[in-house]
A and B are shown apart, each in its own frame.
Chain A
Amino acid sequence: MMPDVCATDIAIIGAGPAGMAAAVRLAKVGHRPVVFDMNATPGGQIYRQLSELQVSEAVMGKDYARGRELIDAFQRADIDYRPGTRVWWADNDALGTSLGVLEKGQTQHWQARQLILAGGAMERGWPFRGWQLPGVMNAGAAQILLKQGALVPATPPVLAGTGPLLYLLAWQYLRAGIPPSLILDTAPATRYGEVVRQSRRAWFARSYLFKGARMIGALKRAGVPIHQGITTLEAQGDKAVESIGYRHRGQWKTHSTELLLTHFGVTPEPQLARSLGLTHHWHASQQSFVPQRDDTLAVGANLWIAGDGGGIGGAINAEREGQLAALAVLDKIGQGDPEWQRERHALLKARRRDLEARSLLESMFRLPEAWLDDQPEETLVCRCESVSRGELDRAIAQGGAGPNQLKAFTRCGMGPCQGRQCGESVTRLLARRLGWTPEAVGYYHIRPPVHSITLGELATKE
């Protein structure tokens, strides 16, 4: 039996920088938005645990502490904040969006006239041999452990992959007194040429670049070896990681470690946007699909996407997008104020500059397109259903010409993560094999429930 409908004028999904900033801006003019958050405390992934800080700013760095102000404003404002909730179903029409929400083991049916999706990003699933072994973990996951309670590895980890987060975590471990034993970067050493080639963007990106240079400098001074241009990576071991193998300058090398932390960039968390049937395009520079938004961040008549869920722009940009979406909502419901034009222009201008800077970072930390080609047959692409690269290639050879066909042929993407970890890889592999663009290949059809929900939870009325 479906419970009674709870109604709200404005709902926001997610309480990271975008969701918090949108809620605070709306509360400022007297609205009381409902904010659904999967986590137990506000802050999203970037400012996780900042509301009950567990590790010093000296370790985490200034960017983390910066979120404090926004969290304070969010906690002070009159907002209907609902932590520990999961929106598992959404359906949008001219009247608004219907939401299936799971809270404390019970399902609720919500109707929101205006909805801002601020679900953020996730770390990209990036297959390599042995990545399913215990002891392989995402760098972002290791950082979450650090934020939750200064949980640090017992032995020095190896960090591998590419992107700013890889070096940030390495620096944070260094500050915490456990420097990584090795950093393996898949980006070529020539990437610094991009800074010269894209000097205008480099100027906009100067604070990121200086910060990165300072961190890399500190790591090098501490004697942490950094190898660039890594073309292959594998985790080796029986029940858990014992060592890793990698190819550097054409030479195969091994290194003993119990913990391999990898990072291959972040990508919009696609599930709700996909299940709503929103149009997506392949973003060549971000190397991922992003939902199509207009200048006001709208993706529908009463639906907006703010923050990294709409394309990766980082925490500060997400905060601006949250404010922009809030202003767009107010315009939509006839409560806009001409005096806000200046605020909007300033936000849009800052956003343009930040996204320009971002595109330089994207070219510096570009992921190798041919990575999957160089992987052995047995590399798992879908961890949930244990589907290997070889099985997918056999299905393609048998005529599997799209992600949904491969799903039906192999069960790839049919496990509990619902394709979040393998979806992009399947698109990439098909694009390489068929000689199509990722855009032409497309992505899995995503249908609700977008979170696992038990029959008991579905049947329990609030």
Chain B
Amino acid sequence: MPVRHVQIWLDGTPHQVPETLTVAAAVLQLRGWQGYRRHVDGSPRAPLCMMGVCQECLITIDGRANRQGCLEPVAEGMRIERQGGSVHDA
């Protein structure tokens, strides 16, 4: 099943990923579970539910912080930045 790829930027580095992925799935595919996000309490966190419930996938997309990465599909030229703890999750 051939699938079209799009170019996204993750923390400033370009990557080709299948267009069927959501942002959270793309980040997990590229980087694994480690280092997805740092929580306000300082602990490392990663997506739990992938269906818009748990809010563990919060990530900065095209300059907007705290987006639910599991709900937004990747798009050509999208800029994604992982949140290192400086952005409050509330």
Show the binding face of A for B, using Cβ within 8 Å: 38-40, 45, 49, 52-56, 84, 122-123, 125, 132-138, 140-141, 144-145, 148-149, 151, 154, 239-241, 258-259, 269, 383-384, 386, 415-417, 420-421, 452
In the bound complex, do residue B55 and residue A141 qualify as a contact, i.e. CB atoms below 8 Å apart?
no
**Given the contacts A38-B71, A151-B25, A384-B89, A417 and B55 also touching, CB distance less than 8 Å:** yes
In the bound complex, do residue B51 and residue A45 qualify as a contact, i.e. CB atoms below 8 Å apart?
yes
In the bound complex, do residue A420 and residue B54 qualify as a contact, i.e. CB atoms below 8 Å apart?
yes
Determine the chain A residues whose CB is within 8 A of the CB of B89 once the complex forms. Answer: 384, 415-416
Interface of A is mostly: loop
How many angstroms between the C-alpha atoms of A1 and B21 in the bound complex?
35
**Given the contacts A133-B44, A421-B54, A416 and B33 also touching, CB distance less than 8 Å:** no
* Closest partner residue, chain A, to B88 (CB atom): A416
In the bound complex, do residue B45 and residue A132 qualify as a contact, i.e. CB atoms below 8 Å apart?
yes
Q: Which of A151, A240, A386, A416 is close to B55, meaning CB atoms less than 8 Å apart?
A: A416
**Given the contacts A53-B1, A148-B20, A149-B20, A38 and B52 also touching, CB distance less than 8 Å:** yes
In the bound complex, do residue A39 and residue B71 qualify as a contact, i.e. CB atoms below 8 Å apart?
yes
- B69 in the interface, Cβ–Cβ < 8 Å? no
In the bound complex, do residue B50 and residue A140 qualify as a contact, i.e. CB atoms below 8 Å apart?
yes
In the bound complex, do residue A149 and residue B71 qualify as a contact, i.e. CB atoms below 8 Å apart?
no
Show the binding face of B for A, using Cβ within 8 Å: 1, 3, 18, 20-22, 25, 28-29, 32-36, 39-41, 43-56, 58, 66, 70-71, 73, 89-90
How many angstroms between the C-alpha atoms of A132 and B46 in the bound complex?
8
Q: Which of A122, A135, A144, A149 is close to B3, meaning CB atoms less than 8 Å apart?
A: A149
**Given the contacts A54-B3, A141-B49, A384 and B55 also touching, CB distance less than 8 Å:** yes
Q: Which of A38, A144, A240, A415 is close to B33, meaning CB atoms less than 8 Å apart?
A: A240
How many angstroms between the C-alpha atoms of A138 and B48 in the bound complex?
6
Q: Which of A141, A149, A241, A384 is close to B47, meaning CB atoms less than 8 Å apart?
A: A141
Determine the chain A residues whose CB is within 8 A of the CB of B58 once the complex forms. Answer: 416
How many angstroms between the C-alpha atoms of A349 and B3 in the bound complex?
43
How many angstroms between the C-alpha atoms of A54 and B49 in the bound complex?
20
Determine the chain A residues whose CB is within 8 A of the CB of B66 once the complex forms. Answer: 416, 452
In the bound complex, do residue B56 and residue A383 qualify as a contact, i.e. CB atoms below 8 Å apart?
yes
In the bound complex, do residue A386 and residue B41 qualify as a contact, i.e. CB atoms below 8 Å apart?
yes
User: Could you pull out 15 A-B pairs where Cβ atoms are within 8 angstroms?
Assistant: A40-B22, A40-B71, A54-B18, A133-B44, A134-B45, A140-B50, A144-B51, A151-B29, A240-B34, A240-B46, A383-B56, A386-B41, A416-B89, A420-B54, A452-B55
